[in-house]
């Protein structure tokens, strides 16, 4: 059954932190600073492509993925205000979605649970059944498509739709499937009067080689429902924002792990919603990267 990781009470958080010990992403002595902050109800933190291996010392392409995720977590939890929610958009695990990979991911992401709920989607390096089995104590059941990690949550200025594009673990293309597309269509139809932001690990790719095999069906659906303002995805390890001919903004999240192309930024994104649009701020792991702190302001389509 689809799950999310709810924000923990102070007592529950500290109890779990004590069990994790040094495995957590930040030092226990800094935990006190996580509590008592005000919440920015219009901001959501966006992570993608963490690729965490069971052994936190694992490197790929000269990058330590666990260190990168820990650095992103540390910056987010040090922010003066708490976000409304955090999304980690797929490829949580390194390659094959093994149980121990998710165990290490859970330890690294744990500090975030003091400040906000965490919504997790799945990518092609995840394994759905193993993922669900790893977090049984944290599971909050959500009514969605059976056998898919798909769900909806709301912030004051948008409804967020998280899709599950995992088809076959360790196979590059993704697939939503007819049942999930039908579910998305019905849920959008039931919520016509509030901006909708759709989040999916795989991109819309008409070739179907890198992205979704059912890209055309999804693009038609998003274009048809004019409350859909943005499609947010990962998978390509490349920070980029462009606009579909329908007016839907296409937001390609950076990876917290390793770039596919040298020089591209790694990090996370702060999305802050306005009444008629949003701004997306890139937070690079390398503070000297030329795109660090870049803010892109988008205006939502009206028809």
Domain count, the chain: 1
Examine residue 215 and state whether it is found in any structural domain, yes or no: yes
Confirm if 201 and 46 have CB atoms less than 8 A apart.
no
Examine residue 170 and state whether it is found in any structural domain, yes or no: yes
Examine residue 222 and state whether it is found in any structural domain, yes or no: yes
Examine residue 5 and state whether it is found in any structural domain, yes or no: no
Examine residue 30 and state whether it is found in any structural domain, yes or no: yes
Q: How many Å apart are CA 257 and CA 214, to the nearest integer?
A: 27
Examine residue 2 and state whether it is found in any structural domain, yes or no: no
Examine residue 4 and state whether it is found in any structural domain, yes or no: no
What is the per-residue pLDDT for 32? 72
Confirm if 196 and 223 have CB atoms less than 8 A apart.
no
What is the per-residue pLDDT for 24? 55
Phi, psi values for residue 228, rounded to 5°: -75, 120
What is the per-residue pLDDT for 22? 46
- Domain encompassing residue 170: 10-299
> Could you count the other beta carbons within 10 Å of the beta carbon of residue 10?
13
Report the predicted TM-score, pTM, of the whole model to 2 decimal places: 0.95
253-276 as b/e: b if 16+ CB within 10 A? bbbbbbbeeeebbbbbbbbbbeee
What digits encode the pLDDT tens for the residues 70-127?
Answer: 999 999 999 999 999 999 999 999 999 999 999 999 999 999 999 999 999 999 999 9
Examine residue 88 and state whether it is found in any structural domain, yes or no: yes
Q: How many Å apart are CA 251 and CA 5, to the nearest integer?
A: 24
What is the per-residue pLDDT for 27? 65
Q: What's the CATH code of the domain at 226?
A: 3.60.21.10
- Low pLDDT (below 50) residues in the chain: 22
What is the per-residue pLDDT for 207? 73
Percent of the residues in the chain that have a pLDDT greater than 70, as a whole number: 94
């Amino acid at each position: 059954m689809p799950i999310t990781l709810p924000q923990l009470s102070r007592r529950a958080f500290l109890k779990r932190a004590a069990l994790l010990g040094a495995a957590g992403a930040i030092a226990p002595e800094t935990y006190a600073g996580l509590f008592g902050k005000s919440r920015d109800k219009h901001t959501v933190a966006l992570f993608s492509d963490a690729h965490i291996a069971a052994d936190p010392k694992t490197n790929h392409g000269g990058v330590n993925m666990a260190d990168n995720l820990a650095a992103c977590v540390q910056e987010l939890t040090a922010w003066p205000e708490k976000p409304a929610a955090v999304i980690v958009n797929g490829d949580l695990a390194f390659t094959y979605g093994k149980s121990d990979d998710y165990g290490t991911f859970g330890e690294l992401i744990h500090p975030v649970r003091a400040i906000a709920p965490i919504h997790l989607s799945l990518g092609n390096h995840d394994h759905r059944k193993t993922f669900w089995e790893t977090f049984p104590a944290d599971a909050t059941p959500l009514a969605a498509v059976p056998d898919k990690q798909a769900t909806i949550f709301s912030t004051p200025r948008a409804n967020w739709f998280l899709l599950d594009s995992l088809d076959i673990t360790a196979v590059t293309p993704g697939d939503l499937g007819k049942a999930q597309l039908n579910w998305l269509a019905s849920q959008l139809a039931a919520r016509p009067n509030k901006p909708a932001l759709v989040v999916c690990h795989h991109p819309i790719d008409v070739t179907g080689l890198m992205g979704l095999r059912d890209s055309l069906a999804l693009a038609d659906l998003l274009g048809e429902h004019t409350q859909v303002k943005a499609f947010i995805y990962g998978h390509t390890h490349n920070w980029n924002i462009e606009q579909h001919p329908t007016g839907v903004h296409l937001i390609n999240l950076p990876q917290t792990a390793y770039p596919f192309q040298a020089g591209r930024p790694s990090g996370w994104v702060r999305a802050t919603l306005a009444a008629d649009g949003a701004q997306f701020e890139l937070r690079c792991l390398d503070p000297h990267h030329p795109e660090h702190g870049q803010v892109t302001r988008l205006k939502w389509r009206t028809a």
